Amino acid sequence: MKKAGALLSHIFKEIGIEDKIKLTSMQKEWHKLFDEPLSLHTYPIDIRGGELTINVDSPAWLGQLKFFKTDIIKKLYAYNINSVKFKHGRVYKKKRQDAKSDVLKDSKHPTRSITDSESEWLNKTVSTISDPELKENIRKTILKALSVSMLILPFFYKQLLVFLSL
């Protein structure tokens, strides 16, 4: 008699979802599999036939990771990964890190509410962007810049005047 795990594994393989199950498991464990800073700059996005595709958040990290392919593959032995491919893309950070950055943000740069005219300008600016994800990311970035920039602008203005007077 076969064990349930072996039977399920065979069924998952037959219907073509074995790699997706491995990927989901790996994504949940990514920050435990790899320590910081590697886990903060990389994230697994696809598995096909034993090849893992990993998103990397910056070109600098992308260039450096090619030297660690063998080590990464060894660490992913339990997932039957035999090759790794890196590409520049979005990386999902663990929640603890996001909370830490919020504390830093709040302590370094206080925020303010944006005005109605700024809100109108922001909506008009992003209205021409057709990709919804890109539109939302740009909207959030501009909103953050507007809510912080007016509070720190006098400092930068003084620095600019000092620089120009040289």
Beta bridge partners of 47: 52
Tell me how far apart the alpha carbons of residues 50 and 80 are, in angstroms, rounded to a whole number. 6
pLDDT at 49: 85
Domain extents for the chain? Answer: 4-88, 109-164
**What is the CATH code of the structural domain delimited by 4-88?**
3.30.300.180
Segment 102-159, tens digit of pLDDT: 433 444 555 677 788 878 887 888 888 888 888 887 778 777 776 765 444 454 445 5
Residues 6+ apart with CB under 8 A from 78: none
Would you say 109 and 151 are in contact if contact means Cβ atoms under 8 Å apart? yes
- Quote the strand ranges of 10-160, DSSP E: 42-48, 51-56, 83-88
Q: Which of 75, 72, 74, 38 is nearest to 58 (CA)?
A: 38
Q: Provide the whole-model pTM.
A: 0.52
Instruction: Please state the rounded mean pLDDT for residues 76-85.
Output: 90
